[in-house]
Amino acid sequence: MSDHEHDHDHEHGHGRLENALGKARRAVEHLTHPTEHGFSSLDADAVFELGHDIADTKAPQVEIGERWDARKFNAKLVNPANRRKLSVIIVGTGLAGASAAATLGEAGYNVTTFCYQDSPRRAHSIAAQGGINAAKNYRNDGDSVYRLFYDTVKGGDFRSRESNVYRLAQTSVQIIDQCVAQGVPFAREYGGLLDNRSFGGVQVSRTFYARGQTGQQLLIGAYQALERQIAAKTVTMHTRHEMLELIVVDGKARGVVVRDMVSGEIETHFADAVVLASGGYGNVFFLSTNAMGCNVTATWRAHRKGAYFANPCYTQIHPTCIPVSGDYQSKLTLMSESLRNDGRIWVPLSGEDKRDPREIPEAERDYYLERIYPAFGNLVPRDIASRAAKNVCDEGRGVGPGGLGVYLDFADAIQRLGRKAVEAKYGNLFDMYAQITGENPYETPMRIYPAVHYTMGGLWVDYDLSSNIPGLYVTGEANFSDHGANRLGASALMQGLADGYFVLPNTINDYLSAGPFPKVDATHPAAVEAVEAVHSRIDKLLSIRGTRTVDSFHRELGHIMWDYCGMERTEEGLRKAISRIRELKTEFWSDVNVLGTNEELNQALERAGRVADFFELGELMCIDALVRRESCGGHFRAESQTEDGEALRHDDEFAYVSAWEFGGEDGKPVLHKEPLVYEYVEMKQRSYK
């Protein structure tokens, strides 16, 4: 089956450029008159203020295929002897941080890295299962850099920046080469060449994988490269350290305040540039597939110091997770999307049908994805699969405890391929499912339900991955740059490694070439103020001694976010969420109970600081979702849908990146819009039917 849109989309190119620019100009004009659209007017003054438009100024104005080479050429270089005099701090050592640290260390810079875990090998990149995309076209199935670019822009529902996405697709091929050279044991065929599989939202096989543990293998590769540089003394690693404040001196990011999580000591570290590679913020929902420690604190603290936070409402709800089993639940476990290659998703036709799934005859099953989206079937993008699951459950046809689940059935695949082949492909996932649920998925269909998984939003960056604070760079999931309103499967690993191995090391030099900057130490007023802010916050948290635990607040915040800022959002719900979050935040700061002292390993104190930041982020997410009165990608506004219930974008009004400026402690956030211009892909409603 073919994607019927493709014929049109391939008429991209030069001739269309002027036309597109004209359209973009008109779009910008339109943005200045937002109330013209047919929505009821938004009571903007109540929750936010509108600031000036912003733009990326770093991508060279040449053909899209030439931009990255042009940027690498016109970025200023630092000669090898001078690199020794320059220093870079990197916060977070997952794929995006470890790969950047290793590469900058190899280049000869002085790198200092921090992670909250006891080893960089534990970063949550390790949990990615399915694979990593690359436009190698090893399958000879019509793949190309342009197609990966096109799929990513379309999959992101036309809310990402073309320049960045094109570069991501270009870089993807180098990543695979680099990883193989490092010893990453990708899956291979009997001929000894690399195997590929297909993933949701695309029709080619471009996903490289290492059984169901691709993230682990890629992270270990980056970790080993990092450890090699630690041994070579180009990188100094601080494990069990958490960044609690950014130090900005004369408008430039110059350092961080960190807490040694074992001794409690508050330390300052300084450098010529700071890189945040601290991951996503899905844990604002309490229950998510993120690791327990994943948090927004590093990027949120930078936001409070002036860095714009872009598209916070774009969160990805992953369709194939193990359903919630009880109130004590601490996290949700993802089952790789690759399962949708061979598993078929269904619910009983009738909500009354409570039979054992194996006893329900074919005619009384509804394979709803295959029915509604015949072209892509079970391989529709994540946002579409998730919402379809929500819809059938809302209709009362969900299965399992609480009716919050759908079947993912491998009976056909086992019959077609044999149990052995299914075991070889998915064995570890099946084992994991059996371990957690106590059910055998070879015999009875799995039950799955969507869960928060990834956050497309993050700190705003330009083409160089620089935030709006000079000297502050942001890589990987922590930035907003490449996935628009929805990320395609197997693209997170690609972006993390592209940023860390290939992009940042070729852009940060442009900034560092003006260094080394004047020495700063802990006596500088900006550093003193940052350290004092950290101390007073910790003292406050430890002095409340209220009646509720940190987790009880976090859980309640998570419920609010899931109910009102989850798979479906409405104006009414978001307004309710904003006021409830504000109330809960006030209660937190007067009634939370954090025992112990700062001068010890204190896990409750660590969590309290993170949850405090999640309150502020959660509110901004709801404001962002409220302002974006359209549906796009993972952001579905009930007020904006087509007649058959599909997401309806409003490109005339909302084709922009929302970059939020911190509005002060009790002030309103300020919205800066970066208009999105599509010169190479024509904007259209996505269709996977």
Partner 1 sequence: MNITVRVWRQPHADAEGQMVSYEVPDVSEHMSFLEMLDVLNERLTMEGDDPIAFDHDCREGICGSCGVVINGVAHGPQQTTTCQLHMRSFADGAVIDIEPWRAEAFPVIKDLIVDRSAFDRIIQAGGFISAPTGTAPDAHAAPIPKNQADHAFDAATCIGCGACVAACPNGSAMLFTAAKITHLGMLPQGQPERDSRALGMVGQQDEEGFGGCTNIGECTAVCPKGIPLETISRLNRDLLGAMLHGSR
Region 326-355 residues binding partner 1, contact defined as CB under 8 A: 326, 328-331, 333-334
Q: Of 210 and 647, which has the nearer Cβ to partner 1? A: 210
Residues 575-634 interacting with partner 1 (rule: CB under 8 A): 593, 595-596, 600-601, 603-604
* Helices 67-74, 504-512: inter-axial angle, 10-degree rounding: 30
The reply on whether position 187 binds partner 1 by CB under 8 A is yes
205 part of the interface to partner 1, by CB under 8 A: no
Which one of 40-48, 206-214, 510-518, 655-663 is the stretch in contact with partner 1 (CB under 8 A)?
206-214
d(C-alpha 105, C-alpha 88), whole Å: 9
Shortest Å, Cβ 537 to partner 1: 20
Taking CB under 8 A as the criterion, the residue among 36, 43, 49, 177 binding partner 1 is: 177
397 lines the binding site for partner 1 (CB under 8 A): no
Among 6-14, 50-58, 217-225, 247-255, the segment contacting partner 1 (CB under 8 A): 217-225
- Write out the binding residues for partner 1, residues 14-73 only, by CB under 8 A: none
**In the range 71-130, which residues lie near partner 1 by CB under 8 A?**
99, 102-103, 106, 117-124, 126-127
Asked whether 373 and 380 are in contact (CB, 8 A), the reply is yes
What is the C-alpha separation between 98 and 493, in angstroms, rounded? 13
Residues of span 525-584 touching partner 1 by CB under 8 A: 547, 549, 551-552
Residues 249-308 that bind partner 1 (CB under 8 A): 262, 289, 291-293
Closer to partner 1 by CB, 34 or 427: give it.
427
Calpha distance 77→505 (Å, rounded): 11
Long-range CB contacts for residues 7-10, cutoff 8 Å, separation at least 24 = 8/682, 8/684, 9/150, 9/154, 9/681, 9/682
SS3 letters across 253-274: EEEEEEEECCCCCEEEEECCEE
| CB closer to partner 1, 174 vs 203 | 174
User: In the complex with partner 1, which residue's Cβ is closer, 27 or 128?
Assistant: 128
Q: Which of 31, 230, 522, 683 binds partner 1 (CB under 8 A)?
A: 230
Task: Please provide the distance, in angstroms rounded to a whole number, between the alpha carbons at the two ends of the chain.
Answer: 10
Q: Which of 11, 45, 189, 521 binds partner 1 (CB under 8 A)?
A: 189
Q: Which stretch binds partner 1 (CB under 8 A): 1-9, 376-384, 430-438, 580-588?
A: 430-438
* 323 close to 289: Cβ distance less than 8 angstroms: no
> How far is the C-alpha of 539 from the C-alpha of 541, rounded, in Å?
6
Q: For partner 1, which is the closer residue by CB, 61 or 435? A: 435
CB of 604 to partner 1, least distance (A): 6
Active site residues: 382
CB of 423 to partner 1, least distance (A): 14
Q: What share of the chain is helix, strand, coil (3-state, %, to 5)?
A: 45, 15, 40
Binding residue for partner 1, selected from 38, 192, 361, 525, defined by CB under 8 A: 192
- Whose CA is closest to 271, among 614, 517, 639? 517
- R_g of the chain, CA atoms, integer Å: 24
Q: Specify the 3-state DSSP secondary structure of 244.
A: strand
DSSP 459-528: E---TTSB-SSTTEEE-GGGB--SSTTSPPTT-HHHHHHIIIIIIHHHHHHHHHTT-SPPP--TTSHHHH
Pick the piece of the chain touching partner 1 (CB under 8 A) from 22-30, 218-226, 269-277, 338-346: 218-226
